[in-house]
Amino acid sequence: MTLLTDPLKPCQLTGPRDGTKQACTSDNDGLPSLTSIIIFLVLTANCGAAVYHSRNNPWAMAFVLASFLILLLLFVALRLFEMLPRESPWRAHVKAAVWVLSTALTLMFSQRVASLMPFPAAVLVWVMAVSTISAGFYMFFICPDGATTAEEPAKVADIP
């Protein structure tokens, strides 16, 4: 399979036999779907409401705004990761950015939740956070990429 190498458009796979093109992402030339737009608008409205309710507490407002910004950056990085061809040298950098952003969100929310819990529950929250971060690191950087191109597609075994 060969890849078209325009890094700003969704990667397209050209089939080895029939020459048909299959997009790795949606077929809308890299534009967000209607569902993505609706989710973004709901998230923005929710952030606005949270900022309004925390207007008297600057630390809570900073937490909401930082979480919103990191989440937006994470969505942009994920979209960019999906759009880059597999052979792109930028793919590893974007993957690292996704992990860093998701780790930052995990740490921020874990700190916020653990501060409200009794000590044994707070320890459990931090153990779960460290486990999630470690598993993400392992899956992103140590475990081999399972999305390899094969000549024959994987088939489900026949069940009698």
Dig out the tokens for 76 from the structure: 């942009």
Pick the range with the lowest mean pLDDT from 20-34, 82-96, 115-129.
20-34
Cα separation, 76 vs 72, whole angstroms: 6
Pick the range with the lowest mean pLDDT from 12-16, 33-37, 91-95, 129-133.
12-16
pTM of the model: 0.71
Q: Is pLDDT above 60 for 20? A: no
pLDDT in tens, 92-146: 899 999 999 999 999 999 999 999 999 999 999 999 999 999 999 999 889 876 6
